[in-house]
């Protein structure tokens, strides 16, 4: 890929999905199968989400976002070492006080509701005390945690906010009730309130009409396939169908559908409702925090015009070339990090449906080779240098780790760049 400094940022032009200029490759493939021309899918082949395939296509064709192989390799070693030290695993998910502690069907309903509404929490307010937040059990919660706190608070108030039957009953689940559920401790309301209500109504109808009013039935229909569950979500619920057109080709990003599967897997520790035999088909979840963290690590670089745009806090339109490049390239970059960790430390490779503990090698990277951005991660970590045991590593755990680390750096005001501003239901 040529140097970004030599290429000006291009306009955010999009090829329409129904453009006559290029044929949709999936339609061509369907036609080939219909005509018996071969090369089609094998009957009963394992489900595929095609997210990683699309991310590589975006990376290969991106102009304004690039990956640094050198810094990606350095970051991989640092991430591996810190995840070992922090004993980062599926158990980490349940350690947060707001995440559900029970492991039953009601938890499945909670996770579905949580990820159904898990989008767009950033605020344009410059002063933190003025931003939307939820007060729950004596604490103020912002961002993603504000949503989790709002759901827990509603359940404490005997509002069945995680029940699909409730969402479709507009006499009980009124807009007034929902505004009460998401009431803020500040004057700023939750972003995209109407879109969240629409997601609840639509998902409730689908669950009640197609899956007996329970998302657990949808999980059962996936037959222990993570990719299969992602596909069920995106095929049946339009509010999970996170797709776009990039250079004439459909690209699947599926942030919320994938993180829903990942949250089930992590919450149930790869068992019961969280048991998936192909969990490694889930990629990183393309949002606005992980690109920010990858830029902090120098793993991804922006063209000057794009970087200035982000630093000036200017909005980036959903589906624009810039936005797709940011998200798609981030997915591919995390994949490269994962592959580098597995290459250097094959003992942590996670294959199979159930996570299992592995001992660390205690062969830490040479600190003299770390760059300043990698040291920033260390600063956000605790000072415990005791080697620990940990589970394997996959894109899910790397994403969780990078997200948590970025939030810590933000709290310390140590970000090297703001996150990009895109207002969207997809993340």
pLDDT 10s digits, 354-413 = 554 433 333 333 344 444 444 444 444 444 444 445 458 999 999 999 999 998 888 888
pLDDT band at 216 (very low <50, low <70, confident <90, very high): very high
Average pLDDT of the segment spanning 173-178? 98
Would you give the DSSP letter of residue 390?
E
User: Residues 161-170, buried b or exposed e (16+ Cβ, 10 A)?
Assistant: bbbbeebbee
CA distances in angstroms from 146 to 27, 152, 168, 219, listed in the order given: 42, 10, 24, 26
Give the per-residue pLDDT at 427: 97
Q: Would you call 350 helix, strand, or coil by DSSP?
A: coil
User: Residues 110-120, buried b or exposed e (16+ Cβ, 10 A)?
Assistant: bbbbbbbbbbb
Exposure on the CB side of residue 390, measured as CA atoms within 13 A: 27
Give the per-residue pLDDT at 133: 97
Give the per-residue pLDDT at 23: 59
Which of these is catalytic: 263, 280, 287, 399? 287
CA distances in angstroms from 285 to 115, 158, 256, listed in the order given: 12, 32, 7
Residue 12 φ then ψ, to 5°: -85, 60
Q: Would you call 203 helix, strand, or coil by DSSP?
A: helix
Residue 17 has pLDDT above 60, yes or no: no
How far apart are the C-alpha atoms of 235 and 262, rounded to whole Å? 18
How far apart are the C-alpha atoms of 66 and 7, rounded to whole Å? 12
**Residue 318 CB neighbours (<10 A):** 16
Which of 91, 105, 112 lies closest to 273, judged by CA?
Answer: 105
Q: Which of 28-42, 218-232, 341-355 has the lowest mean pLDDT?
A: 28-42
* Mean of pLDDT over the chain: 86
Give tens-digit pLDDT for 267-289: 999 999 999 999 999 999 999 99
Residue 144 has pLDDT above 60, yes or no: yes
How far apart are the C-alpha atoms of 201 and 320, rounded to whole Å? 28
Q: Which of 12-26, 167-181, 221-235, 249-263 has the lowest mean pLDDT?
A: 12-26
Which of 25, 62, 73, 1 lies closest to 325, judged by CA?
Answer: 62
Q: Which residue has the tokens 């339609």?
A: 27
287 is catalytic: yes
How far apart are the C-alpha atoms of 11 and 55, rounded to whole Å? 20
Give tens-digit pLDDT for 223-250: 999 999 999 999 999 999 999 999 999 9
Report yes or no: 297 and 374 within 8 Å, Cβ to Cβ: yes
User: Residues 14-49, buried b or exposed e (16+ Cβ, 10 A)?
Assistant: beeeeeeeeeeeeeeeeeeeeeeeeeeeeeeeebbb
Give the per-residue pLDDT at 87: 87
Residue 6, judged by CB atoms within 10 A of its CB (0-12, 13-18, 19+), counts as exposed
How far apart are the C-alpha atoms of 198 and 178, rounded to whole Å? 11
Q: Which residues pair with 300 in a beta bridge?
A: 67
Give the per-residue pLDDT at 128: 86
Give the per-residue pLDDT at 297: 96
The distance of Cα 225 from the centroid of its chain, to the nearest Å, equals: 18
């Amino acid at each position: 890929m040529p140097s970004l400094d030599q290429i000006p940022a291009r306009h955010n032009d999009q090829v329409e999905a129904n453009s006559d200029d290029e044929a949709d490759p999936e339609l061509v493939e369907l036609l080939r199968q219909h005509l018996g021309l071969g090369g089609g899918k094998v009957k009963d082949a394992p489900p595929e989400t095609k997210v990683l395939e699309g991310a590589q296509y975006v990376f290969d064709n991106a102009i304004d976002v690039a990956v640094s192989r050198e810094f990606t390799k350095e970051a991989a070693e640092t991430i591996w070492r810190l995840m070992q030290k922090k004993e980062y695993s599926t158990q980490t998910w349940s350690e947060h006080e707001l995440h559900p502690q029970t492991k039953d069907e009601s938890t499945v309903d909670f996770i579905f509701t949580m990820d159904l509404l898990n989008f767009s929490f950033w605020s344009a307010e410059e002063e933190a005390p003025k931003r939307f937040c939820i007060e729950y059990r004596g604490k103020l919660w912002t961002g993603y945690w504000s949503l989790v706190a709002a759901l827990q608070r509603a359940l404490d108030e005997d509002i069945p906010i995680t029940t699909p039957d409730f969402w479709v009953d507009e006499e009980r689940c009124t807009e007034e009730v929902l505004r009460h559920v998401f009431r803020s401790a500040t004057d700023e309301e939750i972003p995209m309130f109407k879109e969240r209500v629409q997601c609840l109504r639509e998902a409730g109808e689908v669950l009640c009409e197609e899956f007996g009013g329970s998302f657990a039935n949808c999980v059962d229909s996936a037959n222990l396939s993570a990719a299969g569950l992602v596909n069920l979500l995106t095929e049946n619920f339009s509010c999970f169908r996170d797709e776009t057109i990039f250079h004439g080709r459909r690209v699947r990003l599926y942030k919320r559908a994938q993180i829903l599967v990942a949250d089930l897997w992590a919450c149930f520790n790869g068992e019961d409702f969280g048991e998936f035999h192909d969990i490694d088909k889930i990629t990183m979840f393309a949002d606005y925090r992980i690109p920010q963290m990858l830029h902090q690590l120098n793993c991804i670089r922006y063209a000057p015009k794009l970087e200035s745009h982000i630093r000036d806090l200017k909005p980036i339109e959903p589906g624009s070339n810039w936005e797709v490049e940011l998200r798609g390239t981030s997915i591919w970059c995390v994949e490269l990090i994962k592959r580098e960790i597995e290459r250097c430390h094959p003992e942590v490779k996670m294959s199979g449906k159930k996570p299992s503990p592995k001992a660390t090698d205690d062969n830490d990277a040479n600190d003299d080779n770390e760059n300043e951005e990698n040291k920033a991660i260390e600063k956000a970590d605790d000072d415990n240098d005791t080697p620990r045991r940990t589970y394997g590593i996959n894109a899910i755990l790397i994403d969780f780790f990078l997200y948590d680390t970025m939030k810590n750096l933000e709290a310390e005001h140590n970000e090297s760049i703001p996150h990009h501003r895109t207002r969207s239901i997809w993340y």
